[in-house]
Amino acid sequence: MNEEQRKQQAQINQVDNVERIKSASSDDMIAKYFQTSYEQQSPDIKKARKRRNEDVQFHYDFSIPEDVANIGKGKKFLIRTYGCQMNEHDTEVMAGILTEMGYESTSITDEADIILLNTCAIRENAENKVFGEIGHLKPLKLENPDLIIGVCGCMSQEESVVDRILKKHQHIDLIFGTHNIHRLPQLVKEAMFGKEMIVEVWSKEGDVIENLPKVRKGKIKAWVNIMYGCDKFCTYCIVPMTRGKERSRRPEDIIQEVRHLVAQGYQEVTLLGQNVNAYGKDFEDLEYGLGDLMNAIHKIDIPRVRFTTSHPRDFDDRLIEVLAQGGNLLDHIHLPVQSGSSEILKKMNRKYTREEYLELVQKIRKAMPNTTLTTDIIVGFPNETEEQFEETMTLMEEVGFEAAYTYIYSPREGTPAARKKDDIPEEVKKQRLYRLNDLVNKQSAESMKTYDGKTVKVLVEGESKKDPDVLAGYTERNKLVNFKGPKSSIGKIVEVKITEAKTWSLNGIMVESTVEVN
Ligand code: SAH
Ligand code: SF4
Ligand code: F3S
C-alpha cells in the first residue's frame, strides 16, 4: 500500500469505526464485527495457570519493523499506569517502543493520537478505576475516530475483562497482554489500518525479551527487571495467571544494564520481580541466586541498590550474608507477611508459618541490626476470625514494621480463594482495616520520631509536590524528606538535619557543606 492508498483506507476505517462504536449497544451488531480478518487471540485463564515446564526462550533480536518505523511521526502518545512497579516499568518499555516508532509523549489527553491504559488486576477497585477511564474516553473517540485506544497490562490477561470490553466498549481499538508488549509496533499498525478491535493476549508461560527500548520516567532512579512471573500461587492472587511463570534474566544482561545506567548518571537502581528471592532458581546451567547477583551489583559503582518484592519463603542465608555488607545495598527490606495467623497463612498457600516468619526476621536483624522492615497485609481473607486478625495485630507490633501497605481481601476470578464461601461481613473487614491502619500509623510515627535531630543521607529527587521552594528525596531507609536547599543538589546525595518528624515524612535543613562532596 502506498501513502495515498493508506490514507484512503484510513478514511474508510474512520467511518466504519464511528459506526462500530455507535452501534455497540446491540449484541447482534457486535457479533457482526467479529467476522474479522485479524486472528483474535483472547486470554485463557485456565491455560495461564498451568506450568508445563516449557523451555524459556530468550530473544535478543528485537527491532522496530521498517514499515512501522515512522508511523508515529508528528503524532503523540499517552500511557496511563495503574499497577505495581513492574507495570510502571512496562510503561517505560512501551514508551521506548512508541518513541522509536516516531511518536512523542504527551500528558494532555486531548492531544494524544494513541492512549494506552496499562492496567492492574490485583484488586477489584484497581479494575473499577480502569473501567471508569474506559467510559470517559468514549466521547473523545467519537470526536476523533483516528484516536487509537489500547488496553494492556494485567487486566488484559483476564477472560472476563476482555469479554466485557468486546461486549460493552467497542470504542477500544486494541487489547494486548503482558506477554505481547514487544509486539506493540505490529499491533499499533493493525489498529491503525484494520476495522476491528485487535485482541492479542497470549496465555503462555512466557519468554524473556531482551534489548527492548526504554524511555525511563526519571534520570536519578531506575527500575531494572531481574525476573518475570510468579510460581508461588498464593490462593488469593491473580499475578501467576497474568504474568506467567518465574523466569530470570541472565546475570550478564542485568549487570550490563546496571553498568549502562551508571554511565548515564543514575544514582539508584531497584531490582524488580514479583518474587525476587526466587531469582536464578530456574537456571538449568547455573547455580546463581539473588545473593550472588546482589554481590555482583554491590561491586558496581552505583550509590544505591534496592530490590522488591521479597517472598519470605525463598529468603536465604546467602542473601542475608551479602546484604550485611552494606555499602550500596541499602538497609531496607520489604517483606510481605500478609497475615499473622499460621492458619490463614496456610489457607493463603504462603508456605511459611508465623513462627518461621519471626525466625527469619530475627536472622535478618541479627545480621543487619539497623534494617528497616516494611510489609504488605491482607485483612478479611475468607472466614478470618477475630482471633486470627488479632494475631496480625500482634505480629505487626512484635516485628515493629515501620510501614505497611494494607488491603481488604478482594476475590479474584480464577483464584482458589475466590471459590470459598465467606461469612465475614464487609463492614467487619473495614473495621479491621481501620484498626490495623491506626496501628501502622502509630508505628510509622514512632519510627519517624527517632530521626528527630539526626542527620540523614538524602538522594534529592526534585522539588516537593506541594511547594516548589522545598526539595524532596528519600533516605537510605526509604523515608521521604522535605527540606530547604539549593536546586543544584537535585540528583545528588546530600546530608539533611531533621527538624520535624511527621507520620509519613520528615522535614529538615540541608547541611550546607555536603552539596559539593557528593
Ligand atoms: N509478589 C508480592 C506481592 C505483589 S501484589 C509478594 O508476594 O509479596 C502486592 C500486594 O497486594 C500483596 O502483597 C498483597 O498484600 C496484595 N494482594 C494481592 N492479591 C490481593 C487480593 N486478592 N486482595 C487483596 N490484596 C491482594
Ligand atoms: Fe501473588 Fe503470592 Fe506471587 Fe506475590 S508471591 S505475586 S502474592 S502469588
Ligand atoms: Fe497489578 Fe499486575 Fe502488578 S496485577 S500488582 S500490575 S503484576
The CATH number of residue 134's host domain is: 3.40.50.12160
pLDDT digits (tens, 9 = 90+) for 255-311: 999 999 999 999 999 999 999 999 999 999 999 999 999 999 999 999 999 999 999
Question: Which ligand neighbours the alpha carbon of 278 most closely?
Answer: 2
Which candidate, 485, 425, 490, places its Cα nearest to that of 460? 490
* Cα(385)–Cα(423) distance, integer angstroms: 10
Specify the 3-state DSSP secondary structure of 376: strand
Specify the 3-state DSSP secondary structure of 384: coil
State the distance from the centre of ligand 2 to the C-alpha of 275, rounded, in angstroms. Answer: 7
State the distance from the centre of ligand 3 to the C-alpha of 89, rounded, in angstroms. Answer: 11
Q: Is residue 237 within 6 Å of ligand 2 at its C-beta?
A: yes
105 and 30 in one domain? yes
Length of the chain: 518
Q: Tell me, yes or no, whether 346 lies in a domain.
A: no
Q: Tell me, yes or no, whether 13 lies in a domain.
A: no
Question: Which ligand neighbours the alpha carbon of 377 most closely?
Answer: 1
Residue 136 neighbours by CB under 8 Å, 6+ apart: none
Q: Is residue 233 within 6 Å of ligand 2 at its C-beta?
A: yes
CB atoms within 10 A of CB 12: 12
The pLDDT, as a whole number, for residue 301 is: 96
Q: Tell me, yes or no, whether 118 lies in a domain.
A: yes
Dig out the grid coordinates for 87 from the structure: 507495570
435 and 381 in one domain? yes
The pLDDT, as a whole number, for residue 45 is: 83
Instruction: Please tell me the total count of domains within the chain.
Output: 4
CATH number for the domain harbouring residue 463: 2.40.50.140
Tell me which residue has its CA closest to atom 19 in ligand 1. 237
Tell me the Ramachandran region of residue 186: left when phi exceeds 0, alpha when psi lies from -120 to 50, beta otherwise: alpha
Give me the amino acid identity at 211: N
State the distance from the centre of ligand 3 to the C-alpha of 75, rounded, in angstroms. Answer: 29
Of 176, 200, 224, the residue at which a domain comes to its end is: 200
501 and 459 in one domain? yes
* Cα(4)–Cα(192) distance, integer angstroms: 15
Question: Which ligand neighbours the alpha carbon of 408 most closely?
Answer: 1
pLDDT digits (tens, 9 = 90+) for 479-507: 999 999 899 999 999 999 999 999 999 99
Residue 484 neighbours by CB under 8 Å, 6+ apart: 469, 470, 471, 509, 510
Find where cell 497474568 sits: 242
CB 137 within 8 A of CB 115: yes
Q: Tell me, yes or no, whether 338 lies in a domain.
A: no
CB atoms within 10 A of CB 86: 24
What residues make up the domain containing 174?
21-200
Dig out the grid coordinates for 482 from the structure: 522535605
Of 449, 472, 495, the residue at which a domain comes to its end is: 449
314 and 380 in one domain? no
Mutation test residue for ligand 2: of 227, 233, 339, 350, the one with most atoms within 8 Å of CB? 233
Q: Is residue 417 within 6 Å of ligand 2 at its C-beta?
A: no
State the distance from the centre of ligand 1 to the C-alpha of 120, rounded, in angstroms. Answer: 12
325 and 462 in one domain? no
Atom of ligand 1 minimally distant from the CA of 417? 22
Q: Tell me, yes or no, whether 206 lies in a domain.
A: no
CB atoms within 10 A of CB 96: 16
Question: Residue 134 gets which letter from DSSP?
Answer: H
Q: Tell me, yes or no, whether 1 lies in a domain.
A: no
Question: Which ligand neighbours the alpha carbon of 245 most closely?
Answer: 2
Of 434, 449, 464, the residue at which a domain comes to its end is: 449
Q: Is residue 274 within 6 Å of ligand 2 at its C-beta?
A: yes
CB 409 within 8 A of CB 429: yes
Question: Residue 338 gets which letter from DSSP?
Answer: B
The pLDDT, as a whole number, for residue 336 is: 98
The pLDDT, as a whole number, for residue 51 is: 86
Tell me which residue has its CA closest to atom 7 in ligand 3. 239
Question: Which ligand neighbours the alpha carbon of 409 most closely?
Answer: 1
Which candidate, 353, 345, 355, 409, places its Cα nearest to that of 382? 409
- Whether the bond into 309 is cis, omega within 30 of 0: yes
Torsion angles phi and psi, residue 66, rounded to 5: -55, -40
- Residues of the chain where predicted confidence (pLDDT) is lower than 70: 1-39, 513-518
What residues are in contact with ligand 3 under a 6 Å CB criterion? 83-84, 86-87, 120-122, 153-154, 238-239, 242-243
Q: Is residue 477 within 6 Å of ligand 2 at its C-beta?
A: no
The pLDDT, as a whole number, for residue 55 is: 83
The pLDDT, as a whole number, for residue 7 is: 54
Atom of ligand 3 minimally distant from the CA of 274? 7
435 and 291 in one domain? no
The pLDDT, as a whole number, for residue 22 is: 53
pTM of the predicted protein model: 0.92
pLDDT digits (tens, 9 = 90+) for 150-175: 999 999 999 999 999 999 999 999 99
CATH number for the domain harbouring residue 405: 3.30.750.200
Find where cell 495485630 sits: 393
159 and 260 in one domain? no
Mutation test residue for ligand 3: of 239, 241, 274, the one with most atoms within 8 Å of CB? 239
CB 33 within 8 A of CB 170: yes
CB atoms within 10 A of CB 46: 10
Atom of ligand 2 minimally distant from the CA of 237? 1
Tell me which residue has its CA closest to atom 11 in ligand 1. 122
Mutation test residue for ligand 3: of 81, 88, 122, 246, the one with most atoms within 8 Å of CB? 122
CB 259 within 8 A of CB 251: no
State the distance from the centre of ligand 2 to the C-alpha of 121, rounded, in angstroms. Answer: 13
Q: Tell me, yes or no, whether 135 lies in a domain.
A: yes
Rg of the chain on CA atoms, in Å: 24
State the distance from the centre of ligand 1 to the C-alpha of 237, rounded, in angstroms. Answer: 6
Q: Tell me, yes or no, whether 168 lies in a domain.
A: yes
State the distance from the centre of ligand 3 to the C-alpha of 156, rounded, in angstroms. Answer: 11
CATH number for the domain harbouring residue 315: 3.30.750.210
Find where cell 473487614 sits: 429
Q: In degrees, to the nearest 5, what angle opens at C-alpha 153 toward C-alphas 147 and 155?
A: 100
Dig out the grid coordinates for 222 from the structure: 531506575
Question: Which ligand neighbours the alpha carbon of 308 most closely?
Answer: 1
Task: Label the pairing between strands 332-334 and 304-308.
Answer: unpaired
Question: Which ligand neighbours the alpha carbon of 334 most closely?
Answer: 1
Mutation test residue for ligand 2: of 311, 313, 344, 381, the one with most atoms within 8 Å of CB? 311
Torsion angles phi and psi, residue 154, rounded to 5: -70, -30
194 and 229 in one domain? no
Task: Label the pairing between strands 227-228 and 332-334.
Answer: unpaired
320 and 441 in one domain? no
37 and 161 in one domain? yes
* Cα(158)–Cα(199) distance, integer angstroms: 12
The pLDDT, as a whole number, for residue 19 is: 58
Task: Label the pairing between strands 268-272 and 104-105.
Answer: unpaired
Tell me which residue has its CA closest to atom 5 in ligand 2. 232
State the distance from the centre of ligand 1 to the C-alpha of 336, rounded, in angstroms. Answer: 8
167 and 45 in one domain? yes
221 and 261 in one domain? yes
* Cα(139)–Cα(131) distance, integer angstroms: 14
